[in-house]
Structure 1
Amino acid sequence: MLIGLRLQNIALIDSLDLCFDQGFTVLTGETGAGKSILFEALDALLGGAQGTAGVRLLSFGEERGQIEASFALDSAVEHWLKDQEFDSEDAELVLCREWRRQDNRVSSRFRLNGVTVNRQQILTLRPLLIDLTVQGQAQQLARPGQQRWWLDRFGGVVLERALLQVKQSWSDWQQNSLRLEQAQANWQQLQRQRQEEEMQLEELELAQLDDCCEDKTLEREQDRLVHGVRLQEGLGVLIGRLKLGADQVPSVLDHLAACVHQLQAMSLLDSSLVTQLDQCLDFEAGLQDLIHQLEHYGSVLESDPERLGQLQERLAFLKRLERRFGLDLPQMLVRRDELRNHLAVGGAEAALEKLKKEEENARNCMDRANQSLTVVREKTARQLEQKLMTYLRPMGLENVRFKVQLNSAMPSENGADAVQFLFSANPGQPLAPLAEVASGGEMSRFLLALKTTLSAVDGRSTLLFDEIDAGVSGRLSGEIASLLKDLALHRQVFCVTHQPLVAAAADHHFRVSKLVEQGLTRSRVSQLRDTQSRMQELADLAGGDLAEARAYAASLLDHQVA
């Protein structure tokens, strides 16, 4: 519920501070006095009046302007505040929008309970606070999706759940479709990548890589073959000196044998030398073992030019592979195994087929959700048609026909239905789009009936009607007044009106007047609290100070009291 509204330097208002209560409130006054400025201010406060429209709200010649409104909290607003991580301990919500002119540029900012917020946040909060119906709303009816949005609101929780399922399935399909599109767009690149990987694997398989230390083993063997002659020469010298002797000098083995023979003779004379004899025998055995190993080494030592060429060719091949892949031999073995695993499961083709299947499943799920939503909307459409008729016929539209038509549309997050309101006010007139055939008065009555119908299932926000009774005769304005009065039993309702019947039905009455002070035109708003002032205002609406007008105004107020 709107509790208060404060304006500073907004349009023709220099300063204004109003308090409001529940029930039905009307604003009256002469044409051009600024009655609609209060609604325009609320619209701007809740995210409207962008760009030049916002600039025009700032009073001429002023550097700053401000609109502030306070609202009583309900459960829906408290839930919104919690979701947005705002403190909701206070019983009121205070919204403020400020304009500042600087260097021929006007900027504005929003604040909620003193905290700066962005326009997108305000726009999500707006439906919970106000529902504004203004003149010329036929354009709103023609907006894509507007009539569908009204139908969905009337559908309540059941339709909301079906729509939520559609939104979720739409999101899932969008994600799967995007992945598939990206995969298809990159198909050529994936194919080239696969071909390159297959070539890499073929090259690595042909290389017959099995041992991660093969290059080191080959290098050692190569060294032996390259230095075979020198090794043979060195081996001959070693064996000659150890076993055969050289330059008519006994070999090391001969010398060691002589030492053993001498120690044996000495140990017979002194048994304490047995230990040294054993050590010498060990030396002799070790020397013979060394000679045996060297002789074995000599037997396997080769100097094979053909084998050497094979080794060098293999080593060169391995070096080229390392440069080609930028990997060493152990890393190439790992890369080969990775390619084997990757290409063995079908590669890009299998991945693409998997994405196609996932997209198809998501699309089928979305189609089922859309079909379920359409069924709920068809049922809701029939209910809306019946309900609207109960409000339209008493307002002078006895022959009205109304139909909610659902046509197939491209799927979106809102389903696959295009919703259109069809209308006919006169017998013999075919049903046609409401925005194209309804007159101004018919449109006003339809919007009032629609908002009244919606309020029964979505009674959260304050209803604002700007001359909803425009183009309506006196008798019908009485029906509108009665409907507004009944609506205000459950909702806070504001209405700008020129009809005395509507104004007389209000619980609270504000008068907007225009005056000139020091050459400047200003608007003033005053609450008419006593019967006399209300009667005078109703008389002015009915036709001025004539006795008949005053009597008529008095009868209206007496009827309301009765």
Structure 2
Amino acid sequence: MLTGLRLQNIALIDSLDLAFDQGFSVLTGETGAGKSILLDALDAVLGGMQASAAARLLRSGCDRALIEASFRVGASGQRWLERHQLDDGEPELVVSREWRRQDDRLSSRSRLNGVVVNRQQLLELRPLLIDLTVQGQTQQLARPGQQRRWLDRLGGAELESTLGDVRRSWLHWQRCRDALHQAESDRLQLEQQRDELEALLLELEQAALDDPEEIAQLELEQDRLVHGVRLLEGLSALIGRLQDGADQAPSVLDHLLACTHELQLMQAMDASLQPWTERCVDLEAGVQDLIRSLERYGTSLDSDPERLAVLQDRLSLLKRLERRHGQDLAALIQQRDALRERQEAGGSEDLLRRLQEQELAARADRDQHNASLTRCREAAAQQLQTDLMATLRPMGLANVRFEVKIEPVDPGDFGADSVCFLFSANPGQPMAPLVEVASGGEMSRFLLALKTSLAKVDGSSTLLFDEIDTGVSGRVSGAMADLLRTLSRHRQVFCVTHQPLVAAVADHHFRVSKDVSAGITRSRVSHLRDTQERQRELAELAGGDREEAQAYAASLLDQGAA
């Protein structure tokens, strides 16, 4: 329920702080006094106005404005806050929107419990807080899918669960369909490129690709073959210096043997030299092992010109493949394997066949859930027809006929049904879409009856009605008043009204007035708690301060109290 509303510098209101309670509340006052400003403020604070439109609410001459609404949220609203991590543990939710004008630029910022939020979040939360109905709400009724969404709300938990299954099966079918379409497109492309791809696979197979590092290894072997003579010369010099000596100089081994012999003599005189002697012996053994490794390397050196020619041809082939296809050897091997796998798996035809089977299965599952949803909607439609007929007839529509027409349409995430409300208010008048044939007064009564039916299954938000009783007779407004009062036993209800019959049955009465002081116009809102205050206001609605109007107002209050 809405527990409070605070306004600063909004339209004709400089400052206002109102507290609300459960039950039925009415707002009355002369035309132009500012009654609808309160509803506009609630609409704006909950994301209903874009920045440019909401700018009209800013009081003239002011650079700052504020709307703050307090709500006691229901279970669905609480779940939404928890899901978005906006629940601060307090029993009330505070929604605010502030405007500031700076350098001829107007900006606004919205908050939930002090946390900045965007307009999309507010629009998600809004239906869980308020449900605003205005007289002649043809535009909302004509909005695509709106009548279907209302019917779905009446279907309760079973329809909601079935609708969830429909959405999941629709998304699954979409994914299968998209995969099939992609495969069909790929197959067409592959058919166009088949000769090219087959030639590529043949070329890669003939190249006998195996090792991604083959080029590096071949280049290493090529360098060894090309520089074989120089390598042998260097090897001979190395072994000579290590083993045989050079230029009449002793070899490295000769030096190490002499060093070992000398250390052994010294060790006989000083035993602490033993570790150094052992290290020198290890060095001698290491040099001998190095000589043997160099000799083995020497035997591997080969200046075979035939082997070099074969090797260079292979290198040329591999590098030509890389240049032609713009890929390195590893990528070419991967592409060759993919082409092999496609060929071994039966190619695109086998893949296409599997995807066709998956799409057919997903389509059948989608259609099955759609059929279940249609049955749920048909049951909800029968209940809605019964409820609305019973509600509309006492409101001056004795001959009303109403029907929910459900017709098949192309499937979507909402199912495969279109929903249209058909209406006839007079005998002999054929049934036609409600938005085309209902008058303003008939539309008002229909919307009230519809919202009453919705309230039976969905009690998550406060109901606000803006002059929906305009243009109806006194008897009809009395029936509407009874319906509003009955509705307020289960939901918090607000109504802007000019009908004394409606205002008289309210639990709470707010009067909106306008005064001019020092050339400045201001709107005031008074909570009429005293019976005499309410009687005077009802008399004004009934026709003025005459004695008959006062007596009529008193009788209405007595009936309302009864």
**TM-score class, shorter:** 0.7 to 0.9
Match of 2:79 in 1: 79
Greater shift, 205-214 or 386-395, is seen at: 205-214
Q: Is the 8 A contact 2:135 2:469 kept in 1?
A: no
| Contact 1:177 1:359 (8 Å CA) reproduced | yes
What SS class does the counterpart of residue 36 from structure 1 fall into? helix
* Alignment partner of 1:69 is 2:69: yes
SS in 1 for 2:457: coil
Q: Secondary structure at the match of 2:155?
A: helix
Question: Where in structure 2 are the equivalents of 1:275-354 lying within 5 Å?
Answer: 308=306, 312=309, 315-317=312-314, 319-325=316-322, 336-337=336-337, 339-354=339-354
Native 8 Å contact 2:135 2:443 kept in 1: no
Tell me: CA distance 1:68–1:332, structure 2 relative to 1, closer, same or farther (3 Å): closer
Query: Is 2:131–2:464's contact at 8 Å kept on the other side of the alignment?
Result: yes
Q: Does 1:396 align with 2:392?
A: no
Q: What corresponds to 1:239 in structure 2?
A: none
Q: Is the Cα–Cα contact under 8 Å of residues 191 and 348 in structure 1 kept in the other structure?
A: no
2:122 pairs with 1:125: no
Q: Distance in 1 between matches of 2:9 and 2:18?
A: 15
The residue that corresponds to 2:238 in the other structure is: none
CA contact under 8 A between 1:78 and 1:88: conserved in structure 2? no
1:478 aligns to what?
478
Cα deviation per residue 1:63-107 (whole Å; 9 max; x = unaligned)?
111110101132211111111112341010000011122222222
The one-letter code sitting in structure 2 at the alignment partner of 1:355 is: L
SS of the equivalent of 1:449 reads helix
User: Is residue 459–residue 490 contact of structure 1 (8 Å, CA) maintained in 2?
Assistant: yes
Matches within 5 A, 1:356-505: 356-505=356-505
Q: Secondary structure at the match of 2:49?
A: coil
Shift of residue 398, structure 1, vs aligned partner: 0.8
Q: TM-score, normalised by structure 2?
A: 0.80
Question: In structure 1, what is the equivalent of residue 551 of structure 2?
Answer: 551
Which amino acid counterpart does residue 48 of structure 1 have in structure 2?
Answer: G
Q: Is the 8 A contact 2:12 2:59 kept in 1?
A: yes
8 A Cα contact 1:481 1:505, kept in partner: yes
Aligned-partner Cα distance in 2 for 1:105–1:65 = 14
| 3-state SS of paired residue (1:456) | helix
**Alpha-carbon deviations, 1:428-467, whole Å to 9, x = none?**
1100111111111111111110000110011111000001
Q: Which letter maps to 2:526?
A: S
The alpha-carbon distance between structure 1 residues 315 and 35, as it changes in their structure 2 partners (threshold 3 A), is same
What is the match of residue 254 of structure 2?
A: none
- Structure 1, unaligned runs of 5 or more: 228-296
Match of residue 250 from structure 1: none
What SS class does the counterpart of residue 406 from structure 1 fall into? Answer: strand
- Letter of the 1:360 counterpart: L
CA drift at 1:49: 1.5
Q: Is it true that 1:156 corresponds to 2:156 in the alignment?
A: yes
Aligned counterparts of 1:313 and 1:431: Cα–Cα separation in 2: 92
Between the aligned partners of 1:550 and 1:96, the Cα distance in structure 2 is: 41
2:106 aligned partner: 106
CA shift, 1:209, in A, is 6.5
Task: Determine helix, strand or coil for the equivalent of 2:4.
Answer: strand
Residues 184 and 102 from structure 1, CA distance in 2 versus in 1: closer, same or farther, beyond 3 angstroms? farther
Cα distance in 2 for partners of 1:479, 1:25 equals 17
Amino acid at match of 1:171: L
Q: Which amino acid aligns with 2:360?
A: E
* 1:203 positional shift: 1.7
The residue aligned with 1:286 is none
Structure 2: how far apart are the matches of 1:471 and 1:185? 61
What is the deviation of 1:363?
A: 2.2
Seen in structure 2, the aligned counterparts of structure 1 residues 108 and 190 have a Cα distance that, compared at 3 Å, is farther
Matches within 5 A, 1:233-252: none
How far, CA to CA, are the matches of 1:546 and 1:328 in structure 2? 100
Q: 1:67 to 1:334 in 2, by over 3 A?
A: closer
Unaligned runs of 5+ in 2: 230-298
Cα shift at 1:328 = 8.5
- Please tell me whether the aligned partners of residues 136 and 441 of structure 2 are also in contact (alpha carbons under 8 angstroms): no
Q: Classify 1:53/1:333 alpha carbon distance in 2 versus 1 (closer, same or farther; 3 Å).
A: closer
3-state SS in 1 of match to 2:468: coil
- 1:148-187 to structure 2, matched below 5 A, reads 148-187=148-187
Give identity over the alignment, percent. 61
* Corresponding residue of 2:524: 524
Q: Could you say what secondary structure the match of 2:35 adopts?
A: coil
Deviation of the 1:536 alpha carbon: 0.2
Displacement of 1:141: 0.7
Residues 455 and 205 of structure 1: CA distance in aligned 2, closer, same or farther (over 3 Å): same
Please tell me the residue identity of whatever aligns with 1:312: A
1:361-414 deviations in Å (ceiling 9; x for gaps): 222221221111111111111111001111001111111000000112221111
Helix, strand or coil: the match of 1:522? strand
Measured against aligned partners, the alpha-carbon deviations of 1:249-298 in whole angstroms (never above 9, x if no partner) come to xxxxxxxxxxxxxxxxxxxxxxxxxxxxxxxxxxxxxxxxxxxxxxxx9x
| Conservation of the 8 A alpha-carbon contact between 1:194 and 1:348 | no
The answer (yes or no) to whether the contact 1:198–1:343 under 8 Å persists in 2 is no
Bigger shift: 71-80 or 501-510?
71-80
Q: 1:398 to 1:358 in 2, by over 3 A?
A: same
Tell me the amino acid that sits aligned with residue 424 of structure 1: S
Q: CA deviation at 1:53?
A: 1.7
Which moved further from structure 2: 310-319 or 342-351? 310-319
Shifted more, 195-204 versus 405-414: the winner is 195-204
Question: What is the root-mean-square deviation in Å for CA atoms of aligned residues?
Answer: 3.0
State the SS of the aligned residue for 1:472. Answer: coil
Query: Residue deviations 1:442-499, cap 9 Å, x none?
Result: 1111111000011001111100000111111011111111111111111100000000
